[in-house]
Structure 1
Amino acid sequence: MDVERVELPAVTLVAVRRTVRMDQLAGFYDQAYGQVAQALAASGVAPAGPAVGWYAGMPTDSVDVAAGFAVPEGSGPFEGVDTVELPASAAVVGTYTGPYDGLPDAWSEVVAWAGEHDAAGRGDFWEEYVTDPSPDGDPAANVTRLVLPLR
């Protein structure tokens, strides 16, 4: 997996944000992305990037998570969804290719790389689902960008 340090611009996500039990995360994502897609369509706004899963902190048995899409600056308003502002910052970013059940190991690699390079996370992190998985697709071909913003 490729891992690097980058500078990120500020991003506005239109999302559904909830505290979700980990065993209900997949269902939350399915519902949230559909709800956000409807809100964007109703406003005539196209996403400015891939689907995003933003985590306010490390998951335990539940997690504060937002699922949605980045939007162009100044877009909106959007009804029935939340807005999450992600400030500009330095970040460690890894690009992982493979099934979603490999994400924990991929995150371990990103966090280890950050530690080896004296880079401390600010507490939140997110995943950008670069490829849109389909029921007929090959999970080994999924591409996910792992973003660890730094203090």
Structure 2
Amino acid sequence: MDIEQVELPTTTVAVVHERVPMDALSAFYDRAYRQVQETLGAAGVPPTGPAIGWYGEMPSDTADVAAGFAVPPDAVVDGLELLTLAGGSAVVGVHRGPYDRLPDAWSTVVAWCREQGVQGRGDFWEEYVTDPDPGGDPEQNVTRLVLPLL
């Protein structure tokens, strides 16, 4: 896995934001992305980046999660929350493979941070660079793991 420390710009993301039981996370993502895409389309606001799954804290039996797409900072979208992802120093890892291996990928990112002596600020997100192709090869999925630093 490629991991590096970078400077991120502040990003505005149009999202559906909920607290979700972990066993309902997949259904939440399916519903939320569909809702965000439909609402952005109706508003004439094009996404400016890949799908994002943001977590306000480390999940336990539930997750404080938001799913959506980056939009221009001056976007006006009724019916969605606009979440500001503060820019600054962050660690970014690039995971290639199925989503079920993301927990292990995050463990690798966290271990890298410990080795480098840096600490996350609490929230984190995943950028789904490639769209999963139903019936496609999950090994081809590319996900950016973003851990903003204190």
Aligned to 1:135: 134
Q: Report the number of matched residues.
A: 150
2: CA distance between counterparts of 1:96 and 1:121?
18
Moved over 4 A (4+): none
1: CA distance between counterparts of 2:2 and 2:87?
22
Aligned to 1:149: 148
| TM-align CA RMSD | 0.6
Q: 1:80 offset after TM fit, Å?
A: 1.5
Aligned to 1:105: 104
Q: After superposition, give the CA deviation of every residue in 1:114-146 in whole Å (9 maximum; x if it has no partner).
A: 111111100000000000002121111100000
Aligned to 1:13: 13
Output the TM-score relative to the length of structure 1. 0.98
| 1:85-124 map, 5 Å | 85-124=84-123
| 1:24-103 map, 5 Å | 24-76=24-76, 78-103=77-102
1: CA distance between counterparts of 2:136 and 2:92?
25
Aligned to 2:125: 126
State, as a whole percentage, how many aligned pairs show the same letter. Answer: 60
Letter in structure 2 aligned against 1:87 = A
Letter in structure 2 aligned against 1:89 = G
SS of 1:119's equivalent in the other structure is coil
2: CA distance between counterparts of 1:42 and 1:119?
42
2: CA distance between counterparts of 1:128 and 1:88?
15
Q: What residue ranges of structure 2 are gaps of 5+ in the alignment?
A: none
Q: 1:93 offset after TM fit, Å?
A: 0.3
Q: After superposition, give the CA deviation of every residue in 1:83-139 in whole Å (9 maximum; x if it has no partner).
A: 111111100000000000100000000011111111110000000000000212111
Q: 1:73 offset after TM fit, Å?
A: 2.0
Q: After superposition, give the CA deviation of every residue in 1:18-56 in whole Å (9 maximum; x if it has no partner).
A: 000000000000000010001111111111100000000
Q: What residue ranges of structure 1 are gaps of 5+ in the alignment?
A: none
